Amino acid sequence: MGSSFSIINLTQLREDLKRWKVREVSEALQLSPEKVDILRPLLHDKDNIVVENTLFIIEKLIKRKALKEDEVDELLDDIITLTRSSNEKIALRGMKCLRTILEDVNLSDDSYNKIIATLTNVITTKKGILREYAAEELGIIGAKITTLIKKVINFLVSLVRESKDREVKEAALTALTEIASRSKDKNVIEGIAKEIRDVLKREQDSEVRKKALSSLEIILTKKKDEISSETLSDIQSEVPEVLPTKNHEISIQDIEKLFALEKHEIVAEIAKENEDVQNAIIDMLSSEDYLKRADALWVIYRILRFIPSEKLGNIFSKLKTLVKDKNPWIHNSAIKTLAELYLLFPEVRRDILTFLDSLLKSEEEEEVKIGLEIIRELLAYTNDVEIFKATLLITLRRLKENKIRLVILRFYASTAEYFTKIERELIEATIKELDQIYKMSSKEERRIILSLMDLLATILERAGK
């Protein structure tokens, strides 16, 4: 380790990462010639927040060209290991970091093969958003690295043809669509289009057929000019054209037409790459027309991870309104999107937590209820005990307020598993507060209180043993 390392205090750096001071850490690291020696121990830190924010810092350094390709290569094994973390936030941040590497760094074939092995394992063994990330990232590799494209495509085609798992098939179709959408090789584009067309001919599962149809619509929208007339004719017998060729300038009217045709996935694909469409969709979140708000929210939820950081503040401000929407679908979807925003972007977490604090301390019953709904969703995404503890401390003080007591008690009941993960002192404080409000509570509230007190007593008894 060189003497220049002394200009950075590793202990201070770690504390800054724990306090979310990612901008300060990023700026300090840009000046250091010993980035790998500093970053590696932070990636293995016992504190999950430090690890997650270190991955975020690595993304930032790569984007700014402040981390050399050989430095990224040195850290690659550590990052790959974190994509397998049992902590979903860290696994997702690791996958997001891999995506940045794939898009902005040129690696050796050996390194790409390591990543391919990791991503194929995720596609076949994981579920949900991790699988989506892996599918898209395999697509990036397939389109970017010509020496590996055949290997990747053959693997994905085998999954589509042979897997018994619907979600695995759909993930493989996502990856093939990503390759075709990014590739400049006409043979690759045509071959994938034919393969997906064959899925429609042989597949019995209606959901897989629907995914294949959507994939072909996306490929036609982006790469129609790269497909032979014979193949195009065969495809269009199943897939009517929904937009002109790829060089057509997309207008707001086109977007509204696609929404009317229920082609939301095509809008999402276009919005991932087209900044004007992306901005238009974000603006639609504030529309007075609830159908437009709903359409826009559907797209934003699915492209959130592709949206640049500078637009997150605008989206967050709109979500703060949408979580209070009277339309149940918009209300629930906005809560899910807000939870996703929290999970994917450390830079907005403080703002989200401040918003939640204001909801939990509100005098309005409905706002307290919304705050607790959001927190319940965050817990489902993150299993973050600290969020539960902070919520518990705020709400215990409000149990004597008649109009919000039932809302709080129902939250406790729905998240009861978290009481097994907190300190004895907090459990005892909870029991004390529940005991004090029992006599002033309604019949339903008393039923929940008794159930909770029985659970908490059992937890303390087992802890004592």
Mapping DSSP to helix (H, G, I), strand (E, B) and coil, where does residue 238 land? coil
Residue 246 · residue 222 · CB < 8 Å = yes
Dihedral of CA atoms 41, 44, 45, 49 in degrees, nearest 10, equals 120
For the purposes of burial, counting CB atoms within 10 Å of the CB of 211, is it exposed (0-12), middle (13-18) or buried (19 or more)? buried
All domains of the chain, ordered by start, with CATH?
Answer: 1-107 (1.25.10.10), 126-247 (1.25.10.10), 384-465 (no CATH)
What pTM was estimated for this model as a whole? 0.76
Question: Per the structure block, which two tokens stand in for 159?
Answer: 């999954």
Q: CA of 339: how far to CAs of 282, 343, 392, 427, in Å? A: 17, 6, 19, 27
Residue 113 · residue 76 · CB < 8 Å = no
Tens digits of pLDDT across the chain (465 residues) = 343 344 667 788 888 888 877 778 888 888 788 889 999 999 999 998 899 999 999 998 999 898 999 999 999 999 999 999 988 889 989 999 999 999 999 998 899 999 999 999 999 888 888 888 898 898 888 888 888 888 899 999 999 999 999 999 999 999 999 999 888 889 999 999 999 999 988 888 999 999 999 899 888 888 888 888 888 888 877 776 655 544 456 788 888 888 888 889 889 988 988 888 999 999 999 999 999 999 999 999 999 988 988 999 999 999 999 999 999 999 999 999 999 999 888 889 999 999 999 999 999 999 999 999 999 999 988 888 999 999 999 999 999 999 999 999 999 999 999 999 999 999 999 999 999 999 999 999 999 999 999 999 999 988 775
Question: Which residue shows structure tokens 């209820």?
Answer: 369
374 CA to centre of own chain: 16
Q: CA–CA separation, 283 vs 276, rounded Å?
A: 11
